[in-house]
Amino acid sequence: MDSNLSSMIDLSPGPLPSSLQLTREGKLRHFLTIEGLSPLMLEEILDRAEQFVTLPNKNQSKAPLLRGKTVINLFFENSTRTRMTFELAAKRLSADLINLDINTSATSKGESLLDTIRNLEAMNVDMFIVRHQHSGAAHFIARYAAPHISVLNAGDGHHSHPTQAMLDMLTIRQHKGAFPPLKVAIVGDILHSRVARSQIHALTTLCAGEVRVIGPRTLMPVGVEAMGVNVFHDLYEGLEGVDVIIMLRLQKERMQNALLPSAHEYYKRYGLRKEALACAKPDAIVMHPGPSNRGVEIDSVVADGSQSVILQQVSNGIAVRMAVMSMVMSAQSGKLK
């Protein structure tokens, strides 16, 4: 078997067969993408996550749901929020969690992804949490991992970031309740954003009233309308009357060519400032998956303002990741019975 990474990963994985992600009984076995999951499954994740939400500054009690399980964080790309909240989630579920430091691992000596996985499997692990610069990396690992192992996608290329989308849905539901009446605007670099793709799948699955994507033509995927969204190129027009604004980071590291005149010009046209925020409903919430480029996609006055729920998104990341980890492990134990 060819174990060269780039030859084995489908760079445009497209729709996944649900059999890879679900058990025969329809339980979540891996969490790779929102695409193809039912509204009931998304609601189950949100309901379970709600049970794990804890108030700030309260003592954290540990749940024994993953006691005796070993979880490996495999982050081939940098992360602050996702990696830390997965680690906290695993520890609050009583799992043993190990971070593989990719920079000091044998990856730097040329070991393939598949060989890395095989060797980690030999250490008797139960779950891989994978962030990778290549779209499809988590699917690839899920396809080749041993049957008792669950794989959670912590962000793959520009394709998918499903736990981010679910923590965003939890935050929206906490503030706004049901999804059908909501108008949600996603603003910025839609082209390179795995977060936007997963959010669009989640919002349309949960029947949000309208999903708008707003950004320059150069940062808008061709044919994005087919995902069930309305496209705007004018920020003020796109924000008119919305309930939720999700700002996205400009992903310069994924831009092959100069897609923008300058960061300053981008901020003038698409940066969220008080004047643009005033176009949304007065009780609209402002979200950002982080990390934010202040003064590029969002003004500090708005990022730190009363409508911002950005830090609540981060806190909800722990609860959503606890929910998903406990669901995949319970699906695995059901399968092994």
Closest distance to ligand CP from the beta carbon of 133 (Å)? 12
Closest distance to ligand CP from the beta carbon of 117 (Å)? 21
Query: Of the two residues 79 and 94, which places its CB atom closer to ligand CP in the complex?
Result: 79
Closest distance to ligand CP from the beta carbon of 289 (Å)? 4
Integer Cα distance of 249 and 257 in angstroms: 17
Classified as helix, coil or strand, 96 is: strand
Closest distance to ligand CP from the beta carbon of 155 (Å)? 6
Query: Of the two residues 13 and 290, which places its CB atom closer to ligand CP in the complex?
Result: 290
Integer Cα distance of 272 and 6 in angstroms: 38
Query: What backbone phi and psi angles, to 5 degrees, belong to 90?
Result: -60, -40
Instruction: Extract the runs of DSSP E, i.e. beta strands, from the chain.
Output: 70-75, 96-100, 127-132, 150-156, 183-187, 210-214, 230-232, 244-247, 285-287
Query: Of the two residues 79 and 112, which places its CB atom closer to ligand CP in the complex?
Result: 79
**Any long-range contacts for 262-267 (C-beta under 8 Å, 24+ apart)?**
263/293, 263/296, 266/216, 266/296, 266/297, 267/295, 267/296, 267/297
Closest distance to ligand CP from the beta carbon of 80 (Å)? 4
Residues in contact with ligand CP by the rule CB under 6 A: 79-82, 155, 164, 289-291
Asked if the peptide bond before residue 162 counts as cis, ω within 30 degrees of 0, the response is no
Burial of 101 (0-12, 13-18, 19+ CB in 10 A): exposed
Query: Of the two residues 183 and 288, which places its CB atom closer to ligand CP in the complex?
Result: 288
Integer Cα distance of 247 and 229 in angstroms: 16
Integer Cα distance of 252 and 238 in angstroms: 24
Query: Of the two residues 177 and 291, which places its CB atom closer to ligand CP in the complex?
Result: 291
Query: Of the two residues 22 and 169, which places its CB atom closer to ligand CP in the complex?
Result: 169
Closest distance to ligand CP from the beta carbon of 131 (Å)? 7
- Please report where in the chains the tokens 């399968």 appear, as a residue: 335
Closest distance to ligand CP from the beta carbon of 261 (Å)? 26
Integer Cα distance of 329 and 290 in angstroms: 28
Closest distance to ligand CP from the beta carbon of 223 (Å)? 25
DSSP 43-95: HHHHHHHHHH---TTS--PPP-TTTT-EEEEEESS--SHHHHHHHHHHHHTT-
Query: Of the two residues 81 and 233, which places its CB atom closer to ligand CP in the complex?
Result: 81
Query: Of the two residues 247 and 331, which places its CB atom closer to ligand CP in the complex?
Result: 247
